[in-house]
Structure 1
Amino acid sequence: MKRNPLTARSGATVGLAIASIAVLTACGTQSGGSGGGDAAEELGEMEGQVSILAWPGYVEDGSNDPAVDWVSSFEEETGCEVTSKTYGTSDEAVNLMKSGDYDVVVASGDATLRLIAAEDVVPVNTDLIPNYEGIYDFLKDKEWNSVDGESYGVPHGYGANLLMYNTEVVTEAPTSWDVVFDRAGEFTGKVTAYDSPIYIADAAVYLMAHQPELGIENPYALDEEQFQAAVDLLKEQRQHVGEYWSDYLKEIQAFQTGDSVVGTTWQVIQNVLESEGASTGVVLPEEGATGWSDTWMIAAGAENPNCAYAWLDHIASPEANAAATSYFGEAPSNDAACEFREDCEAYHAGDADYASQIWYWTTPIAECVDGRTDVECVDYAAWTAAWQEIKG
């Protein structure tokens, strides 16, 4: 996934190729300094510094915008001086974590299982993170942030990949993804889709509802037959797609000019377009949608594990979580964060029914994440190869 700033916000795009991953239980040491081991049992004195690897916009200290700062308060309260490095893709983050230079990383669902499998991160003891209790239950202990009942981090925020439409062209408000699949011919040349192999999961979500005989239970766990059905659907869609987007500045422009009239989007894009008077609407279709939930994780062999735990607690606190997720443009993960935001309703924060319709990005691996053991699922390397074939 890649994040690009949009005024005071950042966006996300995915693009990587990975081999099949075996999910391993990572090990680490409580005191840090060496690879492998278990979650910490207790904390000691703060080390005075912490090194963080993050998406742009996730670790703001006021240097980019004096009004945007949730780092300074952390440093004052803990005595841990923050140094941070930003990355542009999940692939880059995974490679950088191998250096051992970072105590903390915030990772998306297309990277977390790789970090766990490579033993580059360790389980976290959530009892040592008081603010973890305030995190929404529907974000905890999920397949992208936990393995074998062990938590590997703290959820940051979440959002859905929604359906956007031009209300002057798509005059009847859509309720289904059929407008970009089976009915795409009605808007040929002006359909837009997310430019990433992970978009294959969007087709799988649609097929779950419209071709139940395929037996898809999880859009990130596709056997060969299910995967081919999703690929075929996207090949059919291709002739109607005017533009695949990954930079949401370009999607905003495309909907403003009318070059795109229907396709995938994020709530933050609709918020920007609405503020500028554009004739657009968004909906979470009846089939559900894909989405994201990032996770703060602690490096195996972290040199500053106590400050690392302190950061995870700080970023999960209501005020810091509110500031960081608002800056990005997503729902917070801490229920009390909405006391510090005025837009939680727009992002459906805390709405468990809404959240239950989101299939959060999860790395497709050969070991089916839906629990099946009688078949092998198609891994992300094959997803990437298929995506290039789909786009032509």
Structure 2
Amino acid sequence: SDTTNILIDANQVRTINLNQVPNAKTTMEFFQTAPAVNVDGKLYGVPVAWGFIPLIFDADKVKPAPTSWEDLWNPKYKNQLSVWQDIALIYTTAIQLGYKNVYTLDDTQLEAIKTKLIAQKPNIRKYWTTAGELANLFMNNEVIAGMSFGGVTITQLQGEGRNVKEIIPTEGATSWFDNWMIPAKSPNPDAALSYINYFHKPETQKQFAAITGYGITNENAFKLVTPEYSKVYELDNPDFITSLDYWKAVPRRQKYLDVLNAVIAA
């Protein structure tokens, strides 16, 4: 959701007619009407999944349970944490520092974020780049807590019998939603539309939720998922979904990435 408008503005994706993907017509209205996929009354993407960026921890080893992002700076976790090597780390630290303008940070704020993240480095065992990498760090007992992408890692670890939990800390968390988009120069857009339509069948969404742990978007699939899954994403509470801070396009994206790279190199 933070790159869709970049693709739209660059004329890199084509519009989508929902009449050609009828299964997507029951996508949650909040996502279907979002500015990330709607421009000038035209639809450019079909929201497929969503989630939030939580704090993840091994409940058998981290006691008491963390409640704040600040807990990841506690010296007792020296060399035991892992956080995401991604622009989302800048977003999350901005929230931790109390900044409300997460996607339009100025130079002073970015410098404060850099200082904050460098101060955390003694606690970092490894910066992860894929969800599988983070899962392996937990499975190998290299880390006990950190920043997760949400959904997929906890699903993998709990499937292996690990007692891990994810929380939205007291400061909050940023959120995301992914979309199917079709390249403007796609040689076979009809095939892409058929695939999108298949993926939005309620039964397919149910399978997707079980395998990935990500939030699903087709309201007709909500009755098919487990009560535990429904509770994680509060599917019976539309106010929860609309209250989250979803990623947006960052005008100074390269500045954010420069800060991230400086932290990694420090």
Could you tell me the TM-score, scaled by structure 2's length? 0.84
Q: Structure 2 counterpart of 1:246, which letter?
A: T
For 1:267 and 1:274, how far apart are their aligned partners in 2? 11
1:191 to 63, 81, 84: 81
Question: How far off its partner does 1:285 sit?
Answer: 1.6
**SS in structure 1 of the partner of residue 103 of structure 2:** coil
Aligned to 2:260: 387
Cα 1:315/1:278, change in 2 over 3 Å:
closer
Does 1:275 pair with 2:159?
Answer: yes
Kindly provide the CA deviation profile for residues 149-179 of structure 1, in whole angstroms up to 9, marking residues without a partner as x: 5431110011222111222332122222121
Question: How far off its partner does 1:201 sit?
Answer: 0.7
1:206 to 84, 88, 96: 96
Cα 1:321/1:169, change in 2 over 3 Å:
closer
Q: How do 1:135-174 and structure 2 match up within 5 A?
A: 135-174=27-66
Q: How do 1:244-263 and structure 2 match up within 5 A?
A: 244-263=127-146
Aligned to 2:233: 348
Question: How far off its partner does 1:128 sit?
Answer: 4.9
CA-based RMSD: 2.6
Higher helix share: 2
Q: Which runs of 5+ in 1 are unaligned?
A: 1-108, 209-213, 366-378
For 2:56 and 2:205, how far apart are their aligned partners in 1? 27
Does 1:239 pair with 2:122?
Answer: yes
Cα 1:117/1:259, change in 2 over 3 Å:
same
Cα 1:127/1:253, change in 2 over 3 Å:
closer
Cα 1:259/1:311, change in 2 over 3 Å:
closer
Contact 1:156/1:325 (<8 A) preserved: no
Q: Percent identity?
A: 25
Cα 1:317/1:168, change in 2 over 3 Å:
closer
Q: Structure 1 counterpart of 2:69, which letter?
A: W
Question: How far off its partner does 1:135 sit?
Answer: 0.9
Does 1:229 pair with 2:121?
Answer: no
Q: How do 1:17-56 and structure 2 match up within 5 A?
A: none
Contact 1:136/1:333 (<8 A) preserved: yes
For 1:319 and 1:309, how far apart are their aligned partners in 2? 18
Q: Which runs of 5+ in 2 are unaligned?
A: none
Kindly provide the CA deviation profile for residues 175-208 of structure 1, in whole angstroms up to 9, marking residues without a partner as x: 221212xx43231221210111332111112223
For 2:222 and 2:114, how far apart are their aligned partners in 1? 40
Contact 2:110/2:259 (<8 A) preserved: no
Cα 1:220/1:248, change in 2 over 3 Å:
same
Could you tell me the TM-score, scaled by structure 1's length? 0.59
Q: Structure 2 counterpart of 1:178, which letter?
A: E
Contact 1:176/1:286 (<8 A) preserved: yes
Contact 1:190/1:259 (<8 A) preserved: yes
Kindly provide the CA deviation profile for residues 286-345 of structure 1, in whole angstroms up to 9, marking residues without a partner as x: 222123311112332544444544443332232233333433331211011134433632
2:9 to 117, 120, 124: 117
**SS in structure 2 of the partner of residue 172 of structure 1:** coil
Contact 2:114/2:262 (<8 A) preserved: no
Does 1:132 pair with 2:24?
Answer: yes
Question: How far off its partner does 1:220 sit?
Answer: 2.1
Kindly provide the CA deviation profile for residues 96-147 of structure 1, in whole angstroms up to 9, marking residues without a partner as x: xxxxxxxxxxxxx343223212201123334554333311123233343233
Q: Structure 2 counterpart of 1:364, which letter?
A: V
Cα 1:169/1:310, change in 2 over 3 Å:
closer
For 1:301 and 1:166, how far apart are their aligned partners in 2? 46
Contact 1:159/1:347 (<8 A) preserved: no
